[in-house]
Chain A
């Protein structure tokens, strides 16, 4: 499998902050990188796929970028509903997840 390194593991932020999470793959995954949001006790929800395509219904304050081995998820202005854990996942060669980034107040 392809190990995914996600950073930071925890991020403390305030409402209105710009937040960036990074995900690195051990080898190229092309554009086949997705971002998920998970809240406690709930299943993850798809936010972004193909590195930068916003899933339908996801607010435009979320954006993704990157190609190959380095990717970022950016929240332009953090809202109260955005405090959650975020995971990246590559699906170029089988599938593997990053370890998650908890965004907390």
Chain B
């Protein structure tokens, strides 16, 4: 059964870079069947799309974050990662990694459990 597991620091200082990794437990991230994405949720607020990556390295970012975000694949470890630069308190959120079905117009069908990242000095 598929498992998506986020990992990374739970505390990041302002203006530093947030880095998270998502480990995919079954299936290869290099299959063209799926995209791989990141979504976040500030405490007590709604869901915010961050971006996604395809097996060929193509990336798709939300316009509001595009200048600060990089999503990439590590095929040797079956992982994908998120980097968000110059973070502020507004980036404090639970970060979810997700799977998207390419044949259903990149539908999000599976989520990781989420990891809380707090931006604070």
Which 7 A-B pairs give the minimum distances between C-beta atoms?
A: A43-B111, A95-B49, A97-B47, A100-B46, A32-B105, A99-B46, A49-B107
Within 8 Å of chain B (Cβ to Cβ): is A16? no
Task: Provide the bound-state CA to CA distance between A98 and B104, in Å.
Answer: 20
Task: Provide the bound-state CA to CA distance between A36 and B49, in Å.
Answer: 14
Other-chain contact of B107, A34, A42, A44, A98 (Cβ < 8 Å): A34
Contact present for A44 and B46 (CB under 8 Å): no
Within 8 Å of chain A (Cβ to Cβ): is B15? no
Contact present for B46 and A43 (CB under 8 Å): no
With contact pairs A1-B62, A43-B113, A44-B111 given, residues A91 and B46 touching in the complex (Cβ less than 8 Å) = no
State the Cβ distance, B59 to closest chain A Cβ, in Å. Answer: 11
With contact pairs A1-B63, A99-B46 given, residues A43 and B112 touching in the complex (Cβ less than 8 Å) = yes
Chain B residues packing against A (C-beta within 8 Å): 37, 46-49, 52, 60, 62-64, 96, 100, 104-114
Within 8 Å of chain B (Cβ to Cβ): is A87? yes
With A32-B105, A94-B60, A95-B37 already in contact, 12 other A-B pairs whose C-beta atoms are closer than 8 Å: A1-B49, A1-B63, A1-B64, A36-B47, A44-B47, A49-B107, A50-B104, A50-B107, A89-B108, A91-B100, A96-B49, A97-B47
The chain B residue with its CB closest to the CB of A30 is: B105
Task: Provide the bound-state CA to CA distance between A98 and B47, in Å.
Answer: 8
Contact present for A43 and B107 (CB under 8 Å): no
Chain A interface residue count, CB cutoff 8 Å, equals 24
> Hey, which chain A residues are within 8 Å of B62, CB to CB?
1, 94-95
> Hey, which chain A residues are within 8 Å of B46, CB to CB?
87, 97-100
Other-chain contact of B48, A46, A49, A97 (Cβ < 8 Å): A97
Q: When each residue 37-53 of chain A gets 1 if its CB lies under 8 Å from chain B and 0 otherwise, what string results?
A: 01000111110011000
Within 8 Å of chain B (Cβ to Cβ): is A92? yes
Task: Provide the bound-state CA to CA distance between A45 and B64, in Å.
Answer: 25
State the Cβ distance, A31 to closest chain B Cβ, in Å. Answer: 9
